[in-house]
Amino acid sequence: MNKKKLKMIFAVGTRPNFMKVAPLIIEVSKYPNKFTWLLVHTGQHYSEDMSKILFDDLSLPKPDIYLGVGSGSHAEQTGKTMIEFEKICFETKSFAYEKPDLIVVFGDVNSTLACALVGAKLHIPVAHVEAGLRSFDRAMPEEINRIVTDHASDYLFTTCEDANENLIKEGIAEDKIYFVGNTMIDSLLNHINRAEDSLILDKLKLRNNGQVKRYGIVTLHRPSNVDEPETLKSIMGALEIIAMEIPLVFPVHPRTIWRIKDFEPAGVIITPPLGYLDFLSLMSNAAIVLTDSGGIQEETTFLGVECLTLRDNTERPITVRKGTNTLVGNDPKRIIGTTFDMLKTGNPKMESLKYWDGKASKRIIEVLRQ
Ligand code: UD1
């Protein structure tokens, strides 16, 4: 009986992976006779506010296996993840010592690459959720992860038609590519009502007599923005000027926190990383978001919230063409000027995006059921 079930491993490791796997687990759980699965957490993100809080908010089950890989250089992190993850593929007790039939990986982080490579080397089929995105900037570690993961994968699930085109141009066979939509938007839709109960706006004093104030959010963690002190200092200077006009909330990523110690921007509300529901509540009520994250470019597009991306390129150009996203790089004058222009013009017009409809996970499971 168990033999007939498809044995899957969902491999996750970082904060942005968790919202992408959550709706798939809901969907796959509807077919207990068809699938059996394990949730493996590599431990790339391990702090309570980067992992546990997200698991709780997303109602994710506790990982079946935790690899405890932690931080390190790219080679250390990727190598250690491969070594630990390979053992799981050989030894998984819940699959009665049989190899999994499919490894599912998400996004573009080091954990994604490592687990996909293990699958490819062991001849275990790999499914990549969020395949085909390209910034065409190989200085970004994520771009290398995206390209290699896609070429090691057997099922490529894409969020937009651009991604299909990118994959086809790279010579990936069309019959491996499935345009299914965006599982991160599935999660957003699954949780947006619960996020309304979040008390974060009151906690941060962003409500006045019941009315939500106009405010902005900042998130920054890309090496290109935060690793070079001069660059970081000039961005912080820009935030101070913007904060004179509108309150800014800055939940600070662990890699950024000690770097901003010397030039914390005056007037900006600094918080630790927030839970999913609190952040969703903050984002959906914000006037503007300044970020270098990938996922936030998509979430703000979906929510119709103005987004300034502090990068020169994006692997998600659809958010610029059809959504609310503007690329501003990290020049402080441009950041300040564009922010003030946008605050004057109000909320942007946007088009609805195909398959960003809460059913991407359903489509993925439908493909796998076939
Ligand atoms: C990783 C991803 C990035 C993604 C981001 C989302 C790669 C190459 N990068 O970047 O694409 O946008 O996650 O958050 O995979 N740290 C902690 N606690 C944690 C995790 C990290 O303190 O739970 C600190 C450590 O000092 C660590 C640093 O943050 O060295 C960077 O963590 P790492 O996982 O290497 O990369 P991120 O910057 O989080």
Within this chain, do residues 171 and 198 fall inside the same structural domain, yes or no? no
Closest CA to 207 of 290, 300, 282, 275: 282
Residues 137 and 175 in one domain: yes
Any domain includes 142: yes
One domain, residues 166 and 223: no
% pLDDT > 70, the chain: 99
Between the CA of 182 and the centroid of ligand 1 the distance, in Å, is: 22
pLDDT category at 260 given cuts 50, 70, 90 is very high
Flag whether the pTM goes above 0.95.
yes
* Whether residue 256 is found in the same domain as residue 219: yes
347: pLDDT confidence band, cut at 50, 70 and 90?
low
DSSP structure string for 278-314 = HHHHHHHH-SEEEE--SHHHHHHHHHT-EEEE-SS--
pLDDT of residue 182: 98
pLDDT the model gives residue 209: 87
Whether residues 259 and 334 share a domain: the answer is yes
pLDDT tens, position by position, 87-110? 999 887 778 778 899 999 999 999
In a domain, 308, yes or no: yes
Q: Is residue 351 part of a domain?
A: no
Structure confidence at residue 348 (pLDDT): 67
Q: Give the per-residue SS3 of 56-124.
A: HHCCCCCCCEECCCCCCCHHHHHHHHHHHHHHHHHHCHHHCCCCCCEEEEECCCHHHHHHHHHHHHCCC
Active-site residue flag, 253:
no
The answer to whether 9 and 37 have CB atoms below 8 angstroms apart is yes
Res 263: pLDDT: 87
Question: In this predicted structure, what is the pLDDT of residue 95?
Answer: 80
Pocket test for ligand 1, best of 109, 135, 137, 144 (most atoms within 8 A of CB): 109
Query: Within 6 Å (CB) of ligand 1, which residues are found?
Result: 14-16, 44-47, 50, 71, 108-110, 141-142, 221, 253-255
Any idea what the CATH number is for the domain that residue 293 is in?
3.40.50.2000
Could you read off the pLDDT of 169-192 as tens digits, one per residue? 999 999 999 999 999 999 999 999
Closest protein CA for atom 26 of ligand 1: 255
Could you tell me if 199 and 160 lie in one domain? no
Closest CA to 161 of 20, 356, 357, 364: 356
- State pLDDT tens for residues 40-93: 999 999 999 999 999 999 999 999 999 999 999 999 999 999 999 999 998 877
Question: Does residue 363 sit within a domain?
Answer: yes
Residues 140, 127: Cα–Cα separation, whole Å: 23
Query: Do residue 46 and residue 166 come from a single domain?
Result: yes
Mean pLDDT computed over every residue of the chain:
95
pLDDT digits (tens, 9 = 90+) for 202-247: 999 999 888 999 999 999 999 999 999 999 999 999 999 999 999 9
Identify the active-site residue in 41, 191, 221, 253.
221
What pLDDT is stored for residue 316 in this prediction?
98
Pairing outcome for strands 325-327 and 268-271: unpaired
Domain extent at residue 310: 191-345
Q: Is 18 helix (H, G, I), strand (E, B) or coil?
A: helix
Question: What value does the CA radius of gyration of the chain take, rounded to a whole number of Å?
Answer: 20
- Do 120 and 225 lie in one domain? The reply is no
Domain membership of residue 1 (yes or no) is no
Residue 3 has pLDDT above 70, yes or no: no
Q: What per-residue confidence (pLDDT) applies to 1?
A: 45
Is residue 174 located within the same domain as residue 245? no
Residue 86 and residue 133 in one domain: yes
**Residue 199 in tokens:** 């008390």
Residues 165 and 253 in one domain: no
200 & 322 share domain: yes
Look at residue 199 and tell me if it is in a domain.
Answer: yes
Task: Using the mean position of ligand 1's atoms as its centre, give its distance from the Cα of residue 77 in Å.
Answer: 10
| Atom of ligand 1 at shortest range from CA of 108 | 11
Residue 13 lies in a domain: yes
Cα 45 to middle of ligand 1, angstroms: 6
Chain CA centroid to CA 226, Å: 18
CB 235 within 8 A of CB 333: no
**Domain count within the chain:** 2
The three-class DSSP label of residue 202 is helix
Residue 299 lies in a domain: yes
How far is Cα 298 from Cα 300, in angstroms, rounded to an integer?
A: 6
Region of residue 329 (left: phi > 0; alpha: psi -120 to 50; beta: else): left
